[in-house]
Amino acid sequence: MRTVSMSLSNLILVAPRDGIRWLANFCWEGFRGASGSHGSNSSFRLLCSKSSGLEGGYSRRWTRRHMSTKTEGRNKTNLSSKPGSIVHEILDGKLPQSAALNVNKTEIIETQKTRYCDIQQKIVENKDLASLVTTIVFDIETTGLSREEERIIEIALQDLAGGENSTFQTLVNPGRYVPNPHVHGITTHMVCRPNVPRMEELIPILLQYVSSRQKPGGYVMLVAHNGRCFDVPFLISEFNRCSYEIPQNWLFVDTLSLARELKKSGVSRLPSKTSLQALREYYNIPLVGSAHRAMSDVRSLSMILQRLTFDLKLSIPGLVGKSFTALDCINSKKKKKNSG
DNA sequence: GGCCCTCTTTAGGGCCTT
């Protein structure tokens, strides 16, 4: 009987051949651990933040206010114990800007490309390295579909390892009118509030959260449905807008691609549609919370990922082999521009 | 906007994400 505390690394190391079933068990335990707990809310006090209104304009006045995000789980991590470091980063305005890119952008992009490829290749070739992979399912809600013009208004993540702070969710203040509450139920009034963090305030917290879940010297595999075309490019766009970059050790997996692959293989009688809702209904996964809210979709996707990987006989190295990087998204966009 | 399918590849339409 596997327990939540048993790490995926141990499972993979002991007998890689059974990685498929173990991944499924692991996901299930992680999900059950997170959803079954009452959790603990963690509020991060940000001493400095830009105040904003519906029009999206910034006030340069730094204000003291309480900003809340929410985490759940059982094991302690260094996230909640070090709010000061988050405050420090924002106080000093030490945004990890890509100043170096201005020096020799091409050279750095090539270096990053090599590094990204190295990570994927190494994990696929050396299954022991799979123990260093942290699998996090995530979802975003936005004001619309265009990453150029729209903004993120909610983000949720779930570390499939479970434990305390295994989930992270927060509304995001877009500083503008929310035109599509009929889609997700998130209204302008809910997000355009002083205690709702703006994206530039949230990113350092998000980076620290993911970092807190990461194993020493490890990698992060972020999973989203239709992530390749929507969530990841949207995230890249928002990071860039706030002068941040997606960390180099983040790999991404798109469950839409997995579902399409499974459908194509004929192994499973998947429905013609491969939307999140269709997959949830096909696998008889109960809806937790409101559909189209970020955490609800994350919980559904955590279960769907488990089932898809089981049906596709995929272990962690197999998933990594199907992953892509932020740079892949950026490069494909550039190729499209050049060819057009 | 990338991916997949087909009545296809010299293309177009639908899915999927909010």
Q: Which residues of A217-246 are buried (b: 16+ CB within 10 A; e: fewer)?
A: eebbbbbbbbbbebbbbbbbbbbeebebeb
CA distance A21 to A293: 29
Nearest nt (C1') to A255 (CA)? Answer: B16
Q: Which two structure tokens, joined as six digits, stand for A235?
A: 């995230």
| pLDDT (tens digit per residue) in A315-330 | 888 888 889 988 887 7
pLDDT of A72 reads 65
| pLDDT (tens digit per residue) in A92-134 | 223 333 323 333 444 444 555 555 556 666 766 666 777 889 9
Picking from A74, A96, A89, A233, the residue whose alpha carbon sits closest to that of residue A159 is: A74
Structure-token match 């990698």, residue found: A219
CA distance A186 to A178: 8
| pLDDT (tens digit per residue) in A12-71 | 222 222 333 334 444 333 333 333 333 333 333 222 233 333 333 333 334 445 666 677
To which H or E segment does residue A44 belong? strand A43-52
Q: Which of A45-59, A192-206, A235-249 has the lowest mean pLDDT?
A: A45-59
CA distance A232 to A237: 8
Nearest nt (C1') to A179 (CA)? Answer: B18
CA distance A145 to A234: 9
Q: Write out residues whose CB is closer than 7 A to strand B.
A: A 139-142, 144-145, 180, 183-184, 225-226, 228-230, 233, 256-257, 260-261, 263-264, 273-278, 292, 297, 332-333, 336
Contact between A34 and A166 under an 8 Å Cβ cutoff? The reply is yes
Q: Where are the domains of chain A?
A: 99-339
Nearest nt (C1') to A145 (CA)? Answer: B18
Contact between A199 and A242 under an 8 Å Cβ cutoff? The reply is yes
Contact between A84 and A47 under an 8 Å Cβ cutoff? The reply is no
Q: Which of A12-26, A137-151, A159-173, A281-295 has the lowest mean pLDDT?
A: A12-26
Q: Which residue has the higher pLDDT, A179 or A50?
A: A179
B18 C1': nearest CA residue: A144
pLDDT of A86 reads 31
Q: Does domain A99-339 have CATH number 3.40.720.10?
A: no
Instruction: Confirm whether A292 is a catalytic residue.
Output: yes
